[in-house]
Amino acid sequence: MPRPRGARTQVIGAAIAAVGLLAAAACGQVEDGGQGGGSGGAETRTLTVFAAASLTESFTTLKKRFETDNPGVTVEFNFGGSSELAQQINEGAPADVFASANPANMDLVADEGDAEGEPTVFAQNTLEIAVPPDNPADIQELDDLAAENTKVALCAAEVPCGSAAEKVMAETGVEITPVTEEEDVKAAMTKVELGEVDAALVYKTDVIAAGDKVKGIAFPESEHAVNDYPIAPLKDAPEADLAAEWIALTTSDTGTKVLTDAGFRAP
């Protein structure tokens, strides 16, 4: 009996050692990736930007500009839902800049003390009605979405486009009963593109990004829910000076031009 028991202790010891090794290896890699050349000065530096998924096109355009202006610098993106990004940052993900699709998720980061200084609003997004190109339900204005038998996709109230839609409905008294509350704006767009719904309330930027796969209908009531996009450098940014330069670029004339081309409004 003593022999197996001793063996068992050794097994557990070995397992702990193995897990420890794995963890150490993983940490080592993250540090290499995040700070590669950070101390090396001019040679190769990497700016890591966490940005809302709706910024994918415009930020990718700005990246080319930034890398041309700053030789030896590579911009790396992590595009995703703002709330996931906020969580990743609060859990210690190595990032230099956070660009959020709404102030609430920026606040999540700021409240944890992970943002450096006051966030800057660099763009605004407004809602539009997206309909399939042939507009089967003949939608003309916001009121048409409240009609019976009209299938409408809204975003869930938990995500920014959904809370914007709720705000519009509350301010105007137009009551839309959706067939589905989508988990994000892209999913709502898919339903329109496939003709599964007659209309969806989405952002103007998404309508522009979808090209001729959907038709966008602007409506004046969208003024009730203009969505601010804040950007901020992060507290433990490995590349603080590059982060400041990136933020300067997004708020410059060049940045504003790229963003408005994508459907954003200048603040």
Partner 1 sequence: MTPVPSRQGAARERAPRVGAGRFPWLLVVPAVVGIAFLVLPFAGLLIRAPWSTLGTRLLMPEIRGALLLSLGTATLATAIALVLGVPLAWLLARAAFPGRRVVRALVTVPMVIPPVVGGVALLLALGRRGVVGQYLDAWFGYTMPFTPAAVVAAQVFVAMPFLVISVEGALRGADRRYEEAAATLGATRVTVFRRITLPMVLPGVAAGAVLCWARALGEFGATITFAGNFPGRTQTMPIAVYLAMQTDPESAIVLSLVLLLVSLLILVSLRERWVGAL
Q: Which residues bind partner 1 (CB under 8 A)?
A: 4, 7, 11-12, 14-15, 18-19, 22, 81, 83-84, 87, 151, 153, 156, 158-159, 178-183, 187, 190-191, 194-196
| Cβ closest to partner 1, residue 178 vs residue 233 | 178
Start-to-end CA distance of the chain, whole Å, equals 75
| Cβ closest to partner 1, residue 194 vs residue 248 | 194
Is 131 a known ligand-binding residue? Answer: no
Is 185 a known ligand-binding residue? Answer: yes
| Cβ closest to partner 1, residue 36 vs residue 103 | 103
Is 252 a known ligand-binding residue? Answer: no
CB of 190 to partner 1, least distance (A): 7
Whether residue 192 contacts residue 214, with contact meaning beta carbons closer than 8 Å, is answered with yes
| Cβ closest to partner 1, residue 82 vs residue 125 | 82
CB of 160 to partner 1, least distance (A): 9
| Cβ closest to partner 1, residue 12 vs residue 248 | 12
CB of 91 to partner 1, least distance (A): 11
Backbone angles phi, psi at 64, to 5 degrees: -60, -45
CB of 212 to partner 1, least distance (A): 17
Is 163 a known ligand-binding residue? Answer: no
Whether residue 178 contacts residue 188, with contact meaning beta carbons closer than 8 Å, is answered with no
Structural Rg of the chain based on CA atoms: 23
| Cβ closest to partner 1, residue 24 vs residue 218 | 24
CB of 24 to partner 1, least distance (A): 14
In a 13 Å sphere around the CA of 145, the CA atoms on its Cβ side amount to 28
CB of 153 to partner 1, least distance (A): 7
Helix (H) or strand (E) holding 88: helix 82-90
In a 13 Å sphere around the CA of 158, the CA atoms on its Cβ side amount to 7
Separate counts of helices (H) and strands (E) for the chain: 9, 10
- Exposed, middle or buried: residue 77 (CB in 10 Å: 0-12, 13-18, 19+)? middle
Residue count of the chain: 267
- Amino acid identity, residue 220? P
Binding residues, by number, are 54, 82, 185, 203
Binding site per annotation, positions for molybdate: 54, 82, 185, 203
